[in-house]
Amino acid sequence: MKKINIGIIGMGRIGRIHADNLLRDPKASIVAISDPFAGDELREWAAARGIAIADSDALLDDPAIDAVFICSSTDTHVPFIKRAAANGKHIFCEKPVSMDLSATEEALEAVRLAGVQLQVGFNRRFDHNFRRVREHVLEGAVGEPHMIRITSRDPAPPPADYIKVSGGIYMDMMIHDFDMARYLSGREVEEVFAQGAVLVDPVFAAHGDVDTAIVTLRFEGGALGVIDCSRRAAYGYDQRAEVFGADGSVAAANDYPNTAMVATRDGVRSDKPLHFFLERYNSAYIDETRQFIECLLNGTPVPVSGEDAYRAERIALASKLSSQYKRIVKLSDLDSLREGM
Query: Using one digit for the tens of pLDDT, what is the confidence trace for 174-197?
Result: 999 999 999 999 999 999 999 999
pLDDT at residue 279, rounded to an integer = 64
**Using 50, 70 and 90 to split pLDDT, how confident is the model at 261?**
confident
Q: What is the mean pLDDT of residues 104-127?
A: 97
The pLDDT of residue 1 is 67
Q: How far is C-alpha 316 from the geometric centre of its chain's CA atoms?
A: 12
Q: Are residues 38 and 11 in contact, defined by beta-carbon separation less than 8 angstroms?
A: yes
C-alpha closest to that of 150 among 235, 216, 237, 222 = 216
Reported as a pLDDT band with limits 50, 70 and 90, residue 277 is low
Q: What is the mean pLDDT of residues 99-114?
A: 97
pLDDT of 257 higher than 80: no
